[in-house]
Chain A
Amino acid sequence: MTIPRKVFDFFRSRALALTLMLTLLLVCFIATTFLSGELAQRAVFTSLWFNALLVLLVLNVACCFFSRIQRRGWNLISTGMIIFHLSFVAIFAGTIVSSLFHYGGALRLTEGETIGLGDPNAYDKEWWGRFFNHKWMRGDVTFHKHLINYGVDGKNKGIAHEISIVDGAQEVRGVIYPTHSLKFNGFKFYFNTDGFAPLFVLYDRNGRELYGAYVPMQSFELVNDTILYTTGTKEGGPGGMDFPQIPGMPPLFRIQFTYDLPKSTKDIHNASFKIWEYNKEDHNGLRRLVFEGTAPMGGKVTFGDYALSMQEIRYWASMDVLYDPGLPVVLTSLWICFGGILLTTVARLVRKK
């Protein structure tokens, strides 16, 4: 027997198929039972050896397919099996295309803001495949309006975002909500999350406007089931931010802005400020608290030579921008795969009868 034949026989073996299925089953069991979340993802599901197992399974499936074509006559059972095996290989091919060419990013915009799709500063997080070319990210994205209780066909879709993407003469404008995305040049825009972005303005001692910025608030659920809207990060918790952020100039302070959401529409919107002196050398250490106070919307708090005020409330939205050229192949193949299983099983059952 020649070596290629031996290799082929190894890969088309039923014992290999069973061993691989059992191994995958066991690995999945261990990963989800004894490891958890990130650790399982890192140690197993995204690891090279686990993906090698999947590749081996696909090779096995492909060889079984050729072997079946050779040995069996054309009937419903074998047709179903062939469809199943081929679509399984197609799913894998789609996955490879995806992993090499995909792009994903969490794009954050404030209501009314326009930003370049390819601007890396617009993204909280980005990830892409080896062969993805950032030049494909053309056009500008605008977040027009934050919609509450958005209705579609009499159904309340909750929060939705009206956005548009423009590239020269090409334009797409629409509303994204949890079950509806927008597509533009192969990129899809998915609804993700949102929050408040009040406008804070810094004044000098004469009341002259020095700087203004929409500051995105994170929402933190407190022990008493209330929500705290403040600056900080999801991972690190509430905290301050350097302010103002003017390119080429050092910040003056580190400020934690907190927005008190009124309980009813009649109540006043308040903002709280905690201001520390800025210390470049001591960026993450303790700083001297220079001011702590609250002011209603439009009102000012004064500290030293400066004053701060919350002028208006807007929303920020974070949307997932995804590019995945292998996805249509995978999704189509899933149904074909399912059809193959259905055909084979039904044909087998009918034959038994």
Chain B
Amino acid sequence: MRMELVFFWSAVALYGVSAFSYIFGLISSKEKLFSVGMILGFLGLAGNIMAVALRWIKDGVLPFIEISESITSGVLIAMMIFLIVQVSAKRMRAIGVLVMPVAFIMLGWAGTLMKEISGQLPASLQSYWLWVHIIGASTGFGAVLVAAGTGLIFLLKDRYKTGIYDKFPDLESLDNLNYRFVAGGFIMLGLMLVSGSFWSHQVKGNYWNWDPVEVWALITWLTYGIYLHLRATFGWRGRKLAWYVLIALAVMIISYWGIPFVVENFHSGFRVAH
């Protein structure tokens, strides 16, 4: 088995065990299991990074183009953001209850889609805008995934209040954190849209095609724009917005990685020979 695959599937397994550790920690009210989950998350991230790096070195081509690579890079950046939050805010560790299972399922899914690729990046993708686009998309996804995690523990704390939930930040702080991550994600998703437009202009001379993936990226961006609007101008807070971010995460995942499967669009065939 190739080393790249060894690291990749190790990362999947470690994320899976980490997810189990977080969920079991919450069910059994054992906070230590959150720490175990975090350590496993770090180990999984190391495997994830190694898998991406080895693929990059082997092919000499940005490993962010195929759909499986796109999911892998999205999970990688999301895990980085998540683990930074884990290290810097101990009381926020429970967000792993949502983040780790999502990371596990998505990376596992990416593994089933993985295929051999040609060692040549198409000329149309040799653009600096692509970098900005990928960074915007991946960090945007990471930020809103963490936001969804805070949304979930907000709802859990709001419902159960005592026990392990006592150790979570208060509801107002969770709500604020939720807002901050959504705001950050919204900006990065905006960056993704703008850089995508500039890439399109560089290659095709237009900036918007109403391509299904473009439209779904807009839907995602609008979804989070509406969140901010509801909060800033309509005064929504707390539970309603916590539910909102959970639903919005589903929209985001469908938009990024679901749509390219069901419709033909220029995002689904980047490596097709000219």
Contacts and interface: CB of A to CB of B under 8 A. Distances in A.
Interface string B232-274: 1110000000000000000000000001000110000000001
Contacts of A297: none
Contacts of B184: 345
A1 B210 CA distance: 41
Interface string B88-115: 0000000000000000000000000000
Interface residues of A, number: 44
A334 interface: yes
Contact of B226 (A18, A158, A327, A349): A18
Nearest to A192: B204
Interface in B30-52: none
Interface stretch (A30-38, A282-290, A308-316): A30-38
A288 B61 CA distance: 53
B216 A37 contact: no
B216 A335 contact: no
A93 interface: no
B225 interface: yes
A28 B208 CA distance: 14
A22 B191 CA distance: 22
A178 B207 contact: no
B204 A331 contact: no
B123 interface: yes
A18 B218 CA distance: 15
The residue in A22, A158, A179, A341 that gathers the most chain B C-beta atoms within 10 A of its C-beta is A179
A268 B274 CA distance: 24
Interface stretch (B11-19, B67-75, B193-201): B193-201
B123 A37 contact: no
B215 interface: yes
A137 interface: no
Given A28-B219, A338-B190, A341-B187, A158 B274 contact: yes
A28 B201 CA distance: 22
Contacts of A37: 263-264
A40 interface: yes
B205 interface: yes
A158 B233 CA distance: 51
A18 B180 contact: no
A21 B223 CA distance: 9
Contact of A18 (B124, B202, B230, B264): B230
Given A331-B197, A341-B190, A158 B122 contact: yes
Nearest to B191: A338
B183 A348 contact: yes
A179 B194 contact: no
B274 A41 contact: no
Interface in A145-164: 155-159
A157 B202 CA distance: 14
A50 B46 CA distance: 47
A144 interface: no
Interface residues of B, number: 45
A324 interface: yes
A111 interface: no
Nearest to A81: B232
A273 interface: no
Contact of A327 (B201, B215, B225, B274): B201
Given A158-B123, A190-B205, A331-B197, A28 B215 contact: yes
A217 interface: no
A100 to B, nearest CB: 16
B120 interface: yes
Contacts of A193: 274
A338 B194 contact: yes
Given A179-B124, A330-B207, A349-B183, A32 B191 contact: no
A21 B274 contact: no
A56 B123 CA distance: 40
Contacts of B194: 334-335, 337-338
Contact of A14 (B120, B176, B218, B233): B233
Contacts of A345: 183-184, 186-187, 228
Contact of A32 (B215, B228, B232): B215
Contacts of B183: 345, 348-349
Contacts of B207: 327, 330-331, 334
B127 interface: yes
B212 interface: yes
A179 B126 contact: yes
Interface of B: 120, 122-124, 126-127, 176, 179-180, 183-184, 186-187, 190-191, 194, 197-198, 201-207, 210, 212, 215-216, 218-219, 222-223, 225-226, 228-230, 232-234, 259, 263-264, 274
Given A155-B126, A158-B274, 9 more contacts: A28-B222, A32-B259, A32-B263, A40-B210, A177-B123, A190-B204, A193-B274, A338-B190, A352-B180
Interface of A: 14, 17-18, 21-22, 24-25, 28-29, 31-32, 36-37, 40-41, 45, 155-159, 177-179, 181, 188, 190, 193, 320, 322, 324, 327, 330-331, 334-335, 337-338, 341-342, 345, 348-349, 352
14 contacts: A14-B229, A21-B222, A28-B216, A28-B222, A32-B259, A41-B210, A45-B210, A159-B274, A178-B124, A190-B204, A190-B205, A327-B201, A331-B197, A345-B183
The 5 tightest CB contacts between A and B, nearest first, are A178-B124, A45-B210, A178-B123, A158-B123, A322-B205
